[in-house]
Structure formats: structure tokens, C-alpha cells
């Protein structure tokens, strides 16, 4: 892209994706069939207990996904030390081959928690106005369930519980908002581990 005198722009995803791009990611832990057989019969709660404290880089969807949890446990218990994401404290971000190129890594964060909460509230209201509830209703009519991949994400879970009568609409929105705030906090904690980032408040 740069060879064509264009500026690359990467859009979407959590910081984990950007971290993989900048620092590399190559886990070479082979599958462990015996361990997988042992873990496959366990519930999500039991798998979470085996994981211990929830890592800051795991989102709500992965934290409730038994396949992702099993793979994490498999890596944790492996005798192989994974050649994984390079530690940002010990390495520089990847830089294109262009000699002499300097990169400034800037992170933007809200100046106050109140500003963050206000922005999250605005975003949720916008999603509701754009038909979030109707979208989930249509997915449910098509046979999708709350245990299906993609339906475990923040927002979808709370709307589904509202539609089946487990939550009132106000309860669903409140819980959805709290989950978004918690997720944003975990993302910021995760990103602050990268000393290459120069933070600016907005």
C-alpha cells in the first residue's frame, strides 16, 4: 500500500488484533486430544474456573465460548513455551521496510469516566434507534439461539433476554451499558501494558 503512495487504514476489531499486527502472533502449541476430551464434558463455568482470573485480552464472547476456553487452557498447560505475541516492553512495534521510517503510536482515551459512559450511552441509544431489537428478533425467528457464535456478544445477549421475558427493556439496556463500560475498562487496561503508546485525552 505504501509503495503506491497510499496511507494504510485498519478499521475494526479490538486492540488484540492491532497488537497481533504490530508485534506478531505465532502460538505453536499443538493440539492435545486427551486434554480436549477431558475438557469437552465440562460446562463453561467449570472451564472459566480452570482458567483462573480472566485475562484482560479476552472479550465477553470468548469468555463464554467453550472452544476458545479449551484452547486457552490447552496452551496454559502445554510444556511448550509458545512463541506468542512479543512483549511490547521488550520489543518495538513492527516497522515497514522503508529505511529511516519513524512511527508514532498514539492512543486516544476519554479524559474522564463520565465522558466514556456518556459516549457508550449515546452509542447504545443509536443502535436501538437503528433497529437493534428488531435485528435480534429476526435472528431468533431464523432459529438462532443465545448459545450460537456471534449471538454471545454484548448487546445481543441482553436483547435476547429481554425478548424472552427474562429482563425488562430497561434492565436489558442497563446491563448492556454496564457490560460495555466493563469491556472498555478491560481494553484500556490491556492497552496500557504497551509502553509504545503515547496517550492523548479526548
User: What number is the average pLDDT over the span 16-36?
Assistant: 77
Q: Tell me the pLDDT of the chain averaged across its residues.
A: 84
| Residue 12 pLDDT exceeds 60 | yes
- pLDDT tens profile 50-70: 988 787 778 788 888 899 899
Give the C-alpha distances (Å, rounded to integers) separating 200 from 101, 168, 173, 176.
22, 38, 30, 27
Q: Round to whole Å and give the CA distance between 77 and 52.
A: 13
On whether the pTM is more than 0.75, the answer is: no
Greatest mean pLDDT range, 8-12, 87-91, 152-156: 152-156
Amino acid at each position: 500500500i505504501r509503495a503506491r503512495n497510499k496511507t494504510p487504514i485498519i478499521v475494526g476489531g479490538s486492540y488484540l488484533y492491532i497488537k497481533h499486527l504490530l508485534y506478531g502472533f505465532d502460538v505453536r502449541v499443538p493440539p492435545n486430544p486427551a486434554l480436549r476430551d477431558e475438557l469437552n464434558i465440562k460446562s463453561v463455568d467449570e472451564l472459566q474456573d480452570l482458567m483462573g482470573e480472566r485475562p484482560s485480552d479476552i472479550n465477553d464472547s470468548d469468555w463464554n465460548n467453550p472452544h476458545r476456553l479449551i484452547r486457552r487452557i490447552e496452551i496454559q498447560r502445554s510444556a511448550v513455551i509458545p512463541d506468542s505475541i512479543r512483549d511490547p516492553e521488550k520489543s518495538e512495534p513492527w516497522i515497514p521496510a522503508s529505511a529511516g521510517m519513524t512511527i508514532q503510536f498514539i492512543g486516544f482515551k476519554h479524559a474522564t469516566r463520565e465522558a466514556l459512559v456518556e459516549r457508550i450511552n449515546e452509542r447504545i441509544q443509536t443502535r436501538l434507534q437503528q433497529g437493534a431489537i428488531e435485528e435480534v428478533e429476526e435472528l431468533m425467528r431464523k432459529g438462532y439461539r443465545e448459545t450460537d457464535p456471534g449471538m454471545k456478544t454484548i448487546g445481543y445477549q441482553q436483547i435476547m433476554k429481554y425478548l424472552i421475558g427474562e429482563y425488562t427493556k430497561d434492565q436489558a439496556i442497563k446491563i448492556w451499558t454496564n457490560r460495555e463500560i466493563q469491556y472498555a475498562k478491560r481494553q484500556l487496561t490491556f492497552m496500557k501494558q504497551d509502553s509504545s503508546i503515547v496517550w492523548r485525552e479526548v
